[in-house]
Amino acid sequence: SAATGGAFQYATATSQFTTLHKSDGLQGNSLTSVIVDNSGRTWFGSVEGIIDVYNTSNNSLEVILDIYNSNQINKRINDFASVGDTIIVSTDFGVSLIDANSFLFFDTFFKFGTFPSNTRVNSTLKSGLFYVCTDQGVAIQKPGALNLSAPESWNVYSLAQGLPSNKTLKAGLFQGELIVSTDKGFSRFANNSWSNFIPNLANININDFQISGDSILIVAQ
């Protein structure tokens, strides 16, 4: 778990907590995101743009400072996703792709369709296509598009296309359809249009959700 001032891990087998702080070599102060990659390493993102990578096999910490040292004004890391050997980083200025083994950045997307450059990205889903949730709406990779740095490689959707809010938070695939959480409930994308999903959650901020089989586990206000 990531938190302000450090991180902690709970081992269910032993019922023990392990904590990570600055004194342990953790560089990020206010942690905002966490994920475990395919090699079992834990990645922590922070408000400052610092990425710490914790290797549980030898209790070592490595730091990635590319975003922290960049000339971006807002560097907050909002979300990680792990796909194969790639870590997808959603930030206050776009989406970056990092090689999980070399820690090298190999692409960054700053502009999606007609959305302003450096739009805040809250999370990114990669399932065949890229689905990017931003403060301006949802950006979806056009099928067959390869140069994702080009704005025209993305279809974008906002209030004008039927979303309940431009502030979209997270995307998921539920029973074969794309659903997106917002600060005003859920929306479902089908037949190239958006519609209300789970009506009793309309106008409610959906902080997070996880899809498990035919169920959706929801954290809301």
Q: What is the pLDDT of residue 193?
A: 93
Residue 138: pLDDT band by 50, 70, 90 thresholds?
Answer: very high
Q: Inform me whether the pLDDT recorded for 8 exceeds 70.
A: no
Nearest C-alpha neighbor of 154 from the set 138, 144, 141: 141
> Cα–Cα distance between 98 and 83 in angstroms, integer?
10
Q: What is the pLDDT of residue 80?
A: 98
Higher pLDDT, 59 or 101: 101
Residue 13: pLDDT band by 50, 70, 90 thresholds?
Answer: confident
Q: Where are the beta strands (DSSP E) in 84-184?
A: 86-91, 95-99, 105-109, 121-127, 129-134, 138-141, 154-157, 168-174, 177-182
pLDDT averaged over the chain? 92
Higher pLDDT, 132 or 57: 132
> Cα–Cα distance between 105 and 87 in angstroms, integer?
9
β-bridge pairing 185-190 and 206-212 = unpaired
Q: What is the pTM assigned to this prediction?
A: 0.92
pLDDT tens string 196-218: 999 999 999 999 999 999 999 99
